[in-house]
């Protein structure tokens, strides 16, 4: 068997092309069914996110035509001529598929280095494929190990612990200033993409009291419908400044929406209870001199960007450790795959006369030319053990895969 992959991502393709080649959940299942029905793949997992579309599969034989067939199918399914995406497509087989998926799950292949959302996306794509009956022994093992790699890298390195987006950096900074966000009242001014990211991060931290104001009331209601909270009319902004402990603002405006006079009046009503304001707008939403008011902490995008750059460097320093973990896990997976191949070969070898076995063994080894020397030695060592051992010894040595002898 051969593990194969074709795909595009944010590095190789424009967003317009990624949109055209994306799969909805029901399409991913449908495409997997068709790939299997046509005999192109035995097992299939489709991973489709805003930043990538990838088709992972297990082929029935080792041939360069497999990747070509997958490519032609991708074009025909989406009704796009292969010439339109051929230069954006990457193609991997066996070891390189394993390495690529492990890097994806670890967040090393993401637009945002080390981001954790992709691990959930890999898990969900695998779950959908498995529930639909599209996976088997090989992709089950591959995707389960990729999830383990992602968890290990996030646990054993610092690659995902430092904020790498303005929204996340703002929330993390507020968390440090206010100690525990779970007991704070938060007001979000704006309902665009950045504001929604902030709301998501706040909800992840269990913020119980959340209010959202936006010029377009329907947009604020849409955010509240997804995450919860209370919508306030835009006109009420000056009168409700005494309520929050944290204000996060991200709106498009040419003039400040909060002036020093407005905030000073609010601080009197608050009896100088500390107020943290995160200005994520460009141009800035909050008058610069607000930071001069006692008991008010004001941050803007520039100050957070400096933090993000420092964090980016710190994350990049963790890449060698992450790659070492990936290589370690890859070795374990490849040894397992060699064991699967040895088990299949054993099924054939034991059925032929002993004087024919050497030729058949050479045939199997030739078909696995990509094996490293240690893997070839592992393969032949397993076969020797199987051929000389009893059934009991074989099952004890390779319990989960000995039954593969009866598979087609």
Could you give the residue numbers annotated as active site?
Answer: 50
Which residue do the tokens 């058949």 mark? Answer: 360
In angstroms, the CA 207 to CA 180 distance is 9
3-state helix, strand, coil split of the chain in percent (to 5) is 60, 15, 30
At 85 the three-state DSSP class reads helix
CA atoms within 13 A on the CB side of 296: 30
DSSP codes joined into one string, 200-230: HHHHHTT--EEEEE-SSHHHHHHHHHHH--E
The answer to whether 138 and 129 are in contact (CB under 8 A) is no
In angstroms, the CA 232 to CA 14 distance is 38
Task: Quickly count: other Cβ atoms within 10 Å of residue 396's Cβ.
Answer: 11
Task: Quickly count: other Cβ atoms within 10 Å of residue 259's Cβ.
Answer: 15
How do strand 185-189 and strand 209-213 relate by DSSP bridges? parallel
Handedness of CA 348, 354, 355, 357 (dihedral sign): positive
Q: What is the DSSP letter of 180?
A: -
In angstroms, the CA 244 to CA 275 distance is 7
CA-based nearest residue to 104, from 116, 92, 87, 94? 116
Task: Quickly count: other Cβ atoms within 10 Å of residue 294's Cβ.
Answer: 8
At 138 the three-state DSSP class reads helix
The answer to whether 107 and 159 are in contact (CB under 8 A) is yes
Q: What is the largest CA-CA distance in the chain?
A: 96
List Cβ neighbours of 237 (8 Å cut-off, separation of 6 or more).
189, 213, 257, 258
Burial class (CB in 10 A: 0-12, 13-18, 19+), 306: exposed
């Amino acid at each position: 068997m051969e593990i194969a992959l074709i795909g595009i991502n944010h590095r190789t393709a424009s967003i317009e092309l990624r949109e055209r080649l994306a799969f909805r959940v029901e399409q991913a299942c449908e495409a997997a069914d068709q790939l299997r029905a046509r005999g192109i793949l035995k097992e299939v997992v489709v991973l489709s996110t805003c930043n990538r579309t990838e088709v992972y599969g297990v082929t029935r034989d080792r041939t360069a035509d497999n990747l070509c067939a997958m490519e032609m199918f991708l074009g025909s399914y989406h009704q796009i001529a292969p010439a339109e995406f051929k230069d954006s497509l990457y193609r991997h087989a066996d070891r390189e598929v394993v390495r690529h998926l492990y890097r994806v799950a670890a967040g090393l292949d993401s637009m945002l280095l080390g981001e954790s959302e992709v691990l959930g996306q890999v898990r969900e794509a695998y779950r959908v494929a498995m529930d639909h009956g599209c996976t088997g022994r090989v992709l089950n093992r591959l995707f389960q190990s990729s999830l383990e790699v992602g968890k290990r890298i996030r646990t054993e390195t610092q690659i995902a612990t430092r904020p790498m987006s303005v929204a996340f950096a703002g929330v993390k900074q507020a968390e440090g200033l206010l100690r525990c966000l779970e007991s704070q009242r938060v007001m979000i001014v704006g309902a665009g993409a950045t504001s929604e990211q902030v709301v998501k991060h706040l909800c992840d931290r269990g913020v119980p009291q959340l209010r959202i104001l936006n010029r377009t009331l329907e947009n604020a209601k849409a955010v509240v419908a997804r995450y919860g909270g209370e919508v306030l009319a835009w006109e009420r902004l000056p009168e409700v400044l005494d309520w929050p402990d944290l204000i996060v603002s991200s709106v498009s405006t040419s003039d400040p929406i909060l002036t020093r006079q407005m905030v000073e009046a609010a601080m009197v009503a608050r009896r100088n209870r500390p107020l943290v304001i995160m200005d994520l707008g460009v141009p800035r939403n909050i008058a610069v001199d607000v930071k001069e008011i006692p008991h008010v902490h004001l941050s803007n995008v520039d100050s957070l960007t400096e933090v993000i750059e420092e964090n980016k460097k710190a994350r990049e320093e963790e890449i060698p450790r992450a790659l070492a973990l990936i290589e370690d896990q890859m070795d374990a997976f490849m040894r397992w795959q060699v064991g699967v191949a040895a088990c299949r070969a054993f099924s054939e070898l034991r059925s032929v006369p002993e004087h024919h076995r050497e030729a058949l063994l050479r045939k199997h080894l030739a078909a696995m030319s990509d094996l490293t020397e240690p893997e070839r030695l592992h393969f032949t060592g397993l076969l020797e053990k199987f051929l000389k051992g009893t059934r009991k010894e074989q099952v004890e040595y390779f319990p989960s895969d000995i039954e593969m002898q009866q598979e087609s």
